[in-house]
Amino acid sequence: MKKTLRIIASIFLPLLINIIVIVIVFLSHNQCEYKLHHQGQILQDSYIFLFWTIIQLGVVYLIFIKSKYRKQLIAIPIISILFISLFAYWATDLINYEYRKFDKTEWNMENPFFKINYVEDIIENDRLSGLCYEELIEMLGNPNYKSKRKMEYDVGFGTMIIELKNNCYDKVEVICK
């Protein structure tokens, strides 16, 4: 009976713990903030990945080197190594992320949920600087909301608000939903 419980625990316990960690990390990401502040998020995620990998390797070490039940607990190291591989793939994917350079044609054809990919380039490279109302409309298309002092564009997980001064670009901000 104890042997069976150890085998069941060796399979379900690491699965459950790893899934909980993945859910916590995933839920901590606000997609809008993540797209706008990508570099800081990569650093935070890499620390989580490094910490979690050390814990996983420690468990593998304890099972293989120290435990007399290593044959019965073989699932723990296997599952740990699988999840380390998953986290390594995820970290590599995050590091290789490249934001999209703004392209007027693509911006106007994109679903609003994908427009957030261009916002980082618009803000970081100050692409709106020196543009007045008509030029902004020509570049970005018709806003979802407009007044004399601002224009709003739905960018999926947030709203890009362009403030106008004397009918020309003054500043831009993104409000995440």
Strand partners for 109: none
pTM to 2 decimals? 0.57
CA 28 from chain center: how many Å? 9
Q: How many other C-beta atoms are found inside a 10 Å radius of the C-beta of residue 86?
A: 12
- Which pLDDT value is given to residue 82? 75
**Backbone dihedral region for residue 99 (phi beyond 0: left; psi -120 to 50: alpha; all else: beta):** beta
pLDDT (tens place) for every residue of the chain, 177 residues total? 677 776 676 667 777 777 777 777 666 665 566 556 555 555 566 677 777 777 777 777 776 666 676 666 666 667 777 777 776 676 665 555 556 788 888 888 877 777 877 888 888 889 999 999 999 999 999 999 999 899 999 987 789 999 999 999 999 998 887
- Which pLDDT value is given to residue 124? 82
Tell me phi and psi for residue 149, to 5 degrees: -110, -10
- Which pLDDT value is given to residue 17? 75
Q: Which of 104, 164, 102 is nearest to 132 (CA)?
A: 164
- Which pLDDT value is given to residue 155? 86
